[in-house]
Amino acid sequence: MIPFKSVYVVMLLNLYIRETTLVHLIDHGYENVVIAINPRIPEDQTIIKNIKEMVTEASFYMFNATKRRFFFRNVKILLPADWKTENYQKPKYETYDKANIIVADPFLKYGDDPYTLHYGRCGERGRYIHFTPNFLLKDSLLPVYGSRGRVLVHEWAHLRWGVFDEYSKEQPFYESGQNQIKATRCSSDLRGAFVCDGSSCTEGNCRRSNQEDLLKKGCAFLIDKTQHATASIMYMQALASVVDFCNESTHDQEAPHMQNKRCNYQSTWEVIKGSKDCQMTAPMSGTHLPPPPSFAVLQTREPVICLVLDVSGHMNLGNRIIRMRQAAGIFLLQIIPLGVRVGIVTFGDEAEIRAPLTLLSNERRRKQLVSHLPTTANGGSRICKGLLSALQVFQNLGDNNAHGSEIVLVTAGEDKTINSCFSDVVAGGYIIHTITLGMQAATELDQFADMTGGCKFFATDRLDSNGLIDAFIGISSLSGNLSQWSFQLESFAESMKPGQHLSGTVTFDSTVGKESLIIVTWQPYSEAPDILLQDSNEKTYTTKDFVTDFSLGIAYLQIPGTTETGNWTYTVINTLNCSQALTVTVTSRAADHDVPPVTVKVHTNEDTLRFPESLLVYAQVTQGHSPVLEAHVTAIIEHQYGTPFILELTDDGAGADAVKNDGIYSKYFFAPAGNGRHSLKVRVQGKHSSPIRDDSPSWSRAMYIPGYIENGQIQMNPPQPLFTEAGIHTITEGFSRTATGGSFLVSQLPSGPQLDAFPPCRIVDFQVETDDENIYFSWTSPGDNYDQGQASTYEIRMNESPRKLENNFVNATSFNISTLTPQLAGSRETFMFPLKDIPVGNTSSLYFAICTIDKSSLRSEVSNLVRANMWVPAFAIMESVSNDKGSNEMFVVIGSITASCFVISALIYILNKASSLQTQRHICSRERMQLSRKIDVIEETDEVVIQ
């Protein structure tokens, strides 16, 4: 019989959803939402007050907007360690690194736009929401973004339900199928006016200056503050009338915003209804409102860590005990910053506290702890005994102070009794990081990390793997204080024959360089290898310059001061008469507290690959919050058996990559070497002139509202701050980084030969253009298997309705593109087709999509849909979006009577080309006279008709 505690814990685990924190949804309420304040933010109690007011407002607003489904039940606010202590609680599992919402300095040159880091597919959850201190403190920004609570709901929809914005800075206007120039928005029922607010519109009109532009530069669409339309929150939640998301009846499928592009013309409410949250939650009955959210204010403390190390007989295989001792020794000697308290516990059949909590106050204390690391292993494996002994180590801290302490559990053992301590360990409020070795370690170990917000790693027994050292270095600070991080610049390992050498190049850049450390490991208690290190100025270091510990098999060199930038080369020669594994690891800390270092964060979209599904591998390369572009990014995926799988990640906006040039490099992974755990590591090499984007990539964010129409008057907001240095700049030197992405599981992989189960990936950048004679298609080629290899054929089809094209693609009208052979994945494809051969019928516009077919006749998903006008009218008319009064001069530009005048003029021109211009002017003049009785100012006709 399964123990009750085990059943309870498994049930509890199912309530936790794998996200940036342990946030979960129970009985309509979101619980354990974490809002973390960056350590660089100066103390200001008003931030805490305004966060509480924001969340409270958002809770009720979201409850109504989701038709009585969701609200915020409890929220935790995590303060930096250096803010004044007022007996705040100590966090348990809550860390800055895994918060749902962060309060941090602006994205470089980004301003105070609230945004959500969301680069996944439609319906996939984002990483975090970013608010700036100015957004939370300055009431002058309320007219710009709307109330803070409404903005939070806008961003929560990005984060939690994976929907996108319904406006577009890149395409603020578009020409509809009815040949109207319309503002990009949802819903189209929202009224407003086209207003010139730029220097190129000084004449007071929005007429375009050439045929390529819909409207003149500087023309903006201002919303009327008085509205009857209730949608949509993903366009302009600031309006008092807006209380709904766009649904099927209010959604504008023609508008070229990200929601249409990324979600194939589904409305936001359709996507939300299809989310896991909605599937498990019916609307709340009754008419009563939910309770207001409760808040807990927590404060980060200095880390407290206990190493829990396996010394069972399993650790004698593959030199595991030696490798664990080396990796833990590096961790204690160099990686953990001074000021941290560390204890050591070992376990086999029984557990032993080898070292109580010891403050790392100097190098002597570091070496003292290293002396307590185990050297031998035997017997069985009782993981729970080791964990419970770690709880005893923390007891001296007291209950409140022990919360949030970290356990680093390293084990190779299979322990069928591990479930017996789940409830005790989880209830203790400790973060558990797991490092598993080999294939026999209990699969339940991952649950400890999942349930407590810890990291999970896997290290193979391969001698040419540096996975165990990588894992220890990967357990870095979770406080958000980058100055405390130890950045890994190099990690390389190889089994070398006698006399062979391990060599390579590592690049130091100016954002790192303090406490730089070069570490070499070899077989303990044997002769040290010959080491030759040369810096960027050709200064040479040899083995005698390194500090050597023969019992650990470690030699390390601490570079004094700030490391010289540039390329450093290393050579390590095996001096033994037998083969041995040699490793090189290089770490460094931030050079300047005020200059953010180049950072790499690695993860997958899921924890488990269930064959024949695939995983998405992501590497985010940034400096501060700014994306670093054009880096060479390589993922290394290791399994216990077989050679490592090498995957080149790209940031080209095709295949697995959602947005081009956003610093998120990605690729599909679908070829595991076997079932069980896999480790993930990424190597990044930046060029000498790697670009950095200081302008905003296409992440989801709240719109900066330029102004409103209020009571017939234009009310402009201050212009969005412009940064003269915004755009692209470059790093002045190259850089090297290595980062671990932890581990993931593979299951359901059959043995023996496998049928092709991987279709080409969906094309996401399908584009169309037309001229007088031809239509031109372009896209990035997918592969035979997702975004790798070479596909067999393409299909391009069209329909008047985007929904019909998406839902019934195979029966839509097709093109003959048999002459086009797909290129290798990642290539740019183009195809031209004569307009005269397209059966247009009575429609003025058509929708197009493409599908890819591989050699096994597997079909990709239908691509993004694109729209093209099939005939170009003599002119287009601005949509009629005037207010009910029809009484101010700006609405003359878009008044329906004036528009009618030009429709009449157009018809006369088409039906009777010989009609005189005077006749047209007479008709227009008569219409204007009628209009002049209702309005104060008469504008010129060319402000309405786009010539």
Q: How many CA atoms lie within 13 A of 640 on its CB side?
A: 15
The CA-based angle 549-553-554, given to 5 degrees, is 60
Pull the structure tokens for residue 421. 């301590």
Are the CB atoms for 278 and 71 separated by under 8 Å?
A: no
Question: How many other C-beta atoms lie within 10 A of the C-beta of residue 756?
Answer: 13
Residue 247 and residue 722: Cα distance in Å, rounded? 35
Are the CB atoms for 931 and 939 separated by under 8 Å?
A: no
Active site residue 155: yes
Phi, psi of 776 (to 5 degrees): -120, 125
Who's near 597: CB < 8 A, 6+ residues apart?
A: 482, 485, 487, 511, 512, 590, 591, 623
Report helix, strand or coil for 285. coil
Phi, psi of 318 (to 5 degrees): 60, 30
Report helix, strand or coil for 122. coil
The strand pairing partners of 493, in sequence order, are 583
Options 31, 94, 155, 927, the catalytic residue: 155
The strand pairing partners of 231, in sequence order, are 244
The strand pairing partners of 685, in sequence order, are 632, 736
Residue 607 and residue 196: Cα distance in Å, rounded? 51
Using H for helix, E for strand and C for coil, what is the string for 886-935? Answer: CCCHHHHCCCHHHHHHHHHHHHHHHHCCCCCHHHHHHHHHHHHHHHHCCC
Who's near 615: CB < 8 A, 6+ residues apart?
A: 604, 605, 606, 609, 668, 669, 670, 744
Residue 58 and residue 69: Cα distance in Å, rounded? 13
Phi, psi of 9 (to 5 degrees): -70, -40
Report helix, strand or coil for 188. coil
Are the CB atoms for 75 and 57 separated by under 8 Å?
A: no
Residue 327 and residue 488: Cα distance in Å, rounded? 14
Question: How many other C-beta atoms lie within 10 A of the C-beta of residue 89?
Answer: 14
Are the CB atoms for 166 and 246 separated by under 8 Å?
A: yes
The CA-based angle 771-777-782, given to 5 degrees, is 170
Gyration radius of the chain over CA positions: 31
DSSP 124-172: ---SEEEE-HHHHH-GGGHHHH--HHHHHHHHHHHHHH----S--SS-S
Report helix, strand or coil for 758. coil
Are the CB atoms for 17 and 25 separated by under 8 Å?
A: yes
Distances (CA, A) of 774 to 768, 770, 771, 832: 11, 6, 6, 7
For the stretch 306-320, what's the b/e string if a residue is b when 16 or more beta carbons lie within 10 angstroms of its beta carbon?
bbbbbbbbbbeebbb
- For residue 565, give the DSSP letter: P
Identify the CA nearest to 493 among candidates 580, 582, 586.
Answer: 582
Are the CB atoms for 329 and 373 separated by under 8 Å?
A: yes
Catalytically active residues, by annotation: 155
